[in-house]
Amino acid sequence: MAFETARVPTENGARYLQQLCKHWSHKLDVQLSENEGIVRFPAAIATMKAGADALTVTVEAEDDETLQRMKGVVASHLDRFAFREAPLPFEWRKR
């Protein structure tokens, strides 16, 4: 398994987390609480945790190619919901 995590600075992480999870819940398995969400894509899992000043996003996939693609999917969707702040800085780090 391949993992990467990004800490995305934003004071609106909880709102974006809610919007993203509700958006994806129409077609994917999603677990959502006030400050944490897990989205199970067919080939990856995205875990998001909202803090006061950042949204932490972890993407897990079976291989590096899928990981890179899914990081792009998560980042582009987050930027769409955060259009007032976009593009948000993602500094991905391997776990």
Report d(CA 12, CA 26) in Å as an integer. 22
Total Cβ atoms within 10 A of residue 19 = 16
pTM: 0.93
**Which tens digits make up the pLDDT trace of 24-47?**
999 999 999 999 999 999 999 999
CATH code: domain of residue 11? 3.30.310.50
Total Cβ atoms within 10 A of residue 35 = 15
Residues of the domain holding 66: 2-84
Counting the structural domains of the chain, the total is: 1
State the pLDDT confidence band at 82, using cuts at 50, 70 and 90: very high
Closest CA to 20 of 43, 42, 41: 41
